[in-house]
């Protein structure tokens, strides 16, 4: 595959940026409609057919609001902080492969802005840098509630960034690469099993070979994007509005535009890593069908975000950190060890009798059960009320 010239890469990047910004705008409409259905309401209906002009109305309203800067704030940092999270969020789309190469008027065009050999690490790194926008904005606001929200965001992102990265190590082992395009190509082969004389063919999507990693990734991704039930940095019942308490107008909206773009990027990332990205029936023969598959899988992940918000209450901060360090991190490490052993056995580098696997599975299950019982036994019980 030939790399695109620089001017073509810039055009592709511009198109992807436009599509992402449009998707981000209508993500707000989609969220309102989905939450309205969950709560037996209608959602936006008055701004155009089906309320489809609601994102434009919101943009006009936010542009017309006064942009206030607190007198005690660090003005330069206060004004730049929302831009940091917005820019780092949108740059991540450039390494997502929307397919291979297509021919347009005899010209070969790659459906991605950049094929970075460590594309997965680029997205993880951009997510880590994006939290600086929250921390800097909170610090520069000269507001105690904002500062508490910023400190929460820093602790939360550091914790779940570790879990998020470790959950993907198994995929990197199986694919042998950190390039998202190569990971995508590795999932386009079929897995064929012979069961009782029947030949069963399954897609080689990593959700089938890495189901534990998929569950860990889902939980960590929700926390990474500060979405409910892990939206502690902006807990309105505790911190007024958290890190963005002092922001108004369009700068306030930049934080949430960055949050929605982060959700889209994380969903595209998950679709590429676990669900085969553009892979699907007929994707190789029908032009554009692969992109439709990728977008459909992404919408499914976005719906999961909204489903969680409509269903679960917000966690306490100690529960949030406990899930990361006491549950998800050990599970991710065990998944790495298991994947490494399976990989070595598949390559005939070690041979282990079947009974060893059975004993290991029983011991692991016993350890998990004992750990769960110990945590339950040590959990403080509420004291009885007088007169009960």
Model pLDDT for residues 324-357, shown as the tens digit of each residue: 998 899 899 889 988 888 888 777 777 667 667 6
If one compares 293 and 10, the residue with the highest pLDDT of the two is 293
User: Does residue 54 sit in helix, strand or coil?
Assistant: helix
pLDDT in tens, 111-144: 777 788 888 999 999 988 888 888 888 889 888 8
Closest CA to 331 of 205, 167, 210, 219: 167
Report the pLDDT value the prediction gives residue 53, as an integer from 0 to 100. 93
Cα–Cα distances in Å, from 251 out to 224, 256, 278? 21, 9, 35
235: pLDDT strictly greater than 80 = no
Residue with tokens 């990593």: 206
In the chain, the percentage of residues whose pLDDT exceeds 90 is 30
| C-alpha–C-alpha distance, residues 25 and 17, integer Å | 12
**Which string of DSSP letters, residue by residue, matches 240-265?**
TTGGGTT--HHHHHHHHHHHHHHHHH
In this prediction, residue 2 carries a pLDDT of 54
Lowest pLDDT segment from 149-163, 220-234, 362-376: 362-376
Structural domain for 66, as ranges: 6-377
CA distance 91 to 268: 13
Give the C-alpha distances (Å, rounded to integers) separating 285 from 137, 147, 187, 352.
49, 54, 17, 42
Q: Is the pLDDT of residue 265 over 90?
A: yes
Residue 173's Cβ-count burial label (10 Å; 0-12, 13-18, 19+) is middle
Sequence-distant (≥ 6) Cβ neighbours of residue 168 within 8 angstroms: 120, 213, 217, 273
DSSP helix, strand, coil percent of the chain (3-state; round to 5)? 65, 5, 30
CA distance linking residue 149 with residue 232, whole number of Å? 7
What is the number of structural domains in the chain?
1
At 388, the pLDDT band (50, 70, 90 cuts) reads very low
Interval 16-22 mean pLDDT = 86
Buried b (16+ CB within 10 A) or exposed e, 322-331: ebbeebbbeb
In a domain, 388, yes or no: no
Mean pLDDT is lowest, of 208-217, 287-296, 337-346, 357-366, for 357-366
Better pLDDT: 28 or 228: 28
Q: Residue 307: its pLDDT value, please?
A: 93
Q: For residue 243, with 0-12 CB atoms within 10 Å meaning exposed, 13-18 middle and 19 or more buried, which class applies?
A: buried
User: Considering the entire predicted model, what is its pTM?
Assistant: 0.87
Mean pLDDT of 222-239: 79
Whether residue 142 is contained in a domain is answered as yes
Which pLDDT does position 54 carry in this prediction? 92
* Residue 1 within any structural domain of the chain: no
Q: What local confidence, expressed as pLDDT, does residue 264 receive?
A: 93
Q: Is residue 282 part of a domain?
A: yes
Residue 26 has pLDDT above 80, yes or no: yes
Q: Is residue 385 part of a domain?
A: no
Give the lowest-confidence range in 191-195, 230-234, 270-274, 374-378. Answer: 374-378
Cα 272 from Cα 348, distance rounded (Å): 29
Q: How confident is the model at residue 106 (pLDDT cuts 50, 70, 90)?
A: low
| pLDDT value for 337 | 86
What is the model's pLDDT at position 127? Answer: 86
Domain assignment present for residue 383? The answer is: no
Residue 253: both structure tokens together: 């909206």
Mark 281-318 as b/e (b = at least 16 C-beta within 10 Å).
eebeeeeebbeebbbebbbebbeebbebbeeeebbebe
């Amino acid at each position: 595959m030939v790399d695109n010239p620089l001017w073509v890469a810039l055009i592709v990047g511009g198109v992807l940026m436009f599509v992402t910004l449009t998707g981000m705008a209508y993500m707000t409409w989609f969220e309102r409609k989905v939450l309205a259905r969950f709560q037996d309401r209608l959602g936006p209906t008055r701004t155009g057919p089906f309320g489809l002009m609601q994102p434009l109305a919101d943009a006009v309203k936010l542009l017309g609001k006064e942009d206030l800067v607190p007198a005690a704030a660090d003005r330069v940092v206060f004004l730049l902080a929302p831009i940091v999270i917005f820019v780092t969020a949108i740059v991540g789309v450039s390494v997502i492969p929307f397919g291979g190469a297509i021919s347009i008027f005899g010209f070969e065009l790659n459906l991605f802005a950049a094929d970075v050999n460590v594309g997965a690490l680029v997205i993880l790194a951009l997510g880590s840098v994006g939290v600086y926008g929250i921390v800097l904005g909170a610090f520069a606001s000269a507001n105690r509630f904002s500062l508490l929200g910023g400190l929460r965001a820093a602790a939360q992102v550091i914790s779940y960034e570790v879990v998020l990265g470790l959950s993907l190590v198994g995929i990197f082992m199986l694919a042998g690469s950190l390039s998202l395009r190569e990971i995508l190509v590795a999932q386009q082969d079929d897995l064929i099993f012979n069961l009782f004389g029947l030949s069963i063919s399954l897609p080689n999507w990593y959700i089938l070979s890495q189901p534990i990693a998929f569950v860990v990734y889902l939980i960590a991704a929700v926390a990474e994007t500060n979405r409910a039930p892990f939206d502690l940095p902006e807990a309105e019942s505790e911190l007024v509005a958290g890190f963005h308490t002092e922001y108004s107008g369009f700068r306030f909206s930049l934080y949430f535009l960055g949050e929605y773009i982060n959700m889209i990027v994380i969903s595209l990332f998950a679709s590429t890593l676990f669900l085969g990205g553009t892979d699907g029936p007929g994707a190789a023969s029908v032009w554009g069908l692969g992109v439709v598959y990728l977008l459909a899988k992404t919408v499914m992940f976005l719906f999961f975000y909204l489903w969680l918000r409509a269903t679960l209450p917000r966690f306490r901060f100690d529960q949030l950190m406990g899930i990361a360090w006491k549950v998800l991190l050990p599970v991710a490490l065990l998944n790495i060890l298991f994947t490494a052993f399976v990989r070595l056995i598949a390559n005939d580098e070690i041979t282990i009798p079947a009974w060893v696997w059975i004993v290991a599975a029983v011991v692991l299950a016993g350890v998990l059960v004992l750990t769960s019982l110990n945590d339950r036994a040590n959990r403080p019980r509420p004291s009885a009320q007088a007169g009960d």
